Amino acid sequence: MTYEGVDFYDIESELTDEEKMVRDMARDWVEAEVVPNIEQACRDGVFPDEWRVALGEMGVLGMALDGYGCAGMSYVAYGLVCQELERGDSGVRSFASVQGSLAMYPIHDFGSEEQKQKYLPKMASGEWVGCFGLTEPDYGSNPGDMITKAVDEGDDYVLNGAKMWITNGTIADVAIVWAKLDGVIRGFIVEKDDPGFSAPEMTGKHSLRASVTSELVFQDCKIPKDRILPHVEGLKGPFSCLNNARYGICWGAVGAAQSCFHSAKEYALSRIQFGNPIAAFQLVQNKLAWMLREITKGQLLALSLGRKKDAGTWTPEQISLAKMNNVDMALEIARMARDIHGANGILDEYPIMRHMANLESVKTYEGTHDIHNLILGRHITGIQSFTREL
């Protein structure tokens, strides 16, 4: 049976033809290329290069941006693609999110015309890979205190510092690096061969194994003056990138949850205990009903947020709520699905444990679950709780 996804509230009827076509395109690719190969990629700890090529050929990299080789599709369409990619694996969605939302978007919105023309077409096609350097070893949730700095040395900027947990770092041709210039956070475009720049891969991960995670190290890294992003200063730059990436995550988590739900449903219908499929037991049905309920709510949340984004009316707090809620529910569904699968749930014959392990990362990156709670807490009370002096 062809995978059809969960659509309990007939979301299909609220999508345009183009959005459905793009969703189906991504779904078919994931079904044909990712699902059969993802476990091996995870065992090997690699992001297969042919997936980079395929994502570029499909045109999903930066697909919601306009011009410069980008398609200018709706953010709902982009979200649907994220959903399908993450049904395959969070690592695949992460690759596309980082490329489009974190590396291409800042060039598109904050870059010079020359920068846009130089980088965006090659990044849209997947020829060049981008990464995004904000988090540092000692500064995760509070990037405002970052210590990576840039110094104006006449014809060049010189960068010193280190970034950590950088998706795509080692395979990136282009890094968007946030560093302080005269105490103000600015964005810089660092190319892989720039002197003083290195991007060693981080190893030993139990999560996002089919994704490259790296450090970025800048030791007197010299870049030309025209590599600064001219049109943004301060945390607004990286945060606006993160908003877009968080939006992709809120759809992606729905995809991972659907994968776990689909597997749990199939397993429950075929696993016989006490002479009946375990799907016949009330406790199992309760779990499946909870999964369907949460997935449906997550879908509606994601679609609503996407329509707001396309209308230009979303707020950062709405993004926080959707990212936090959808990853949270997806992680819980993965755990519940593992329970339904019994011991079989720990095998890589099923996608459950892989999604579960991936979602532990997704829960933390792009704003941790708790930080998103604090953003909502600030919205509710008007009191900012995460920067107080103790």
Partner 1 sequence: MVTIAVLLKQVPDTTARITVSDGRVDETAISTWVTSPYDEYALEVAIQHKEASGASITAITLGPPRADKVLKDAAALGVENLVRVWDDAWESLDSNQVQAALSTILEGVEADWIYCGKQSADRNQGSTGPGVAERLGMACIVEISDWDVTGAQPSFTRATSSGNERLAPTPPIVLTFTKTETELRRPNVRGIMAAKKANIEVVSADIGDAQVQVVAHNPPAQKPEGRKFEGAESVPEVVGLLRDEAKVI
Q: Where in the sequence numbering do the catalytic residues fall?
A: 366
Is the separation of the CB atoms in 14 and 303 below 8 Å? yes
Cβ closer to partner 1: 221 or 295?
A: 295
Q: Where does 182-329 show beta strands of DSSP type E?
A: 184-191, 197-198, 213-224, 272-273, 276-277
The distance of closest approach from Cβ of residue 321 to partner 1 in the complex, given in angstroms and rounded to an integer, is: 28
The distance of closest approach from Cβ of residue 85 to partner 1 in the complex, given in angstroms and rounded to an integer, is: 13
Chain-centroid distance of CA 171 in Å reads 17
The distance of closest approach from Cβ of residue 194 to partner 1 in the complex, given in angstroms and rounded to an integer, is: 31
Q: At what angle do helices 236-270 and 75-88 cross, to 10 degrees?
A: 50
Q: How far is CA 273 from CA 43, 86, 277, 280, in A?
A: 32, 32, 6, 10
Q: How far is CA 109 from CA 93, 103, 135, 232, in A?
A: 22, 11, 21, 9
The distance of closest approach from Cβ of residue 82 to partner 1 in the complex, given in angstroms and rounded to an integer, is: 13
Q: What is the rounded distance in angstroms from the CA atom of residue 44 to the CA atom of residue 177?
A: 29
Q: What stretches of 30-152 show up as alpha helix (H) in DSSP?
A: 38-44, 49-58, 75-88, 90-97, 105-110, 113-124
Residue ranges binding partner 1 (CB under 8 A): 1-2, 4, 17-18, 21-22, 25, 28-29, 57-60, 63, 71-73, 77
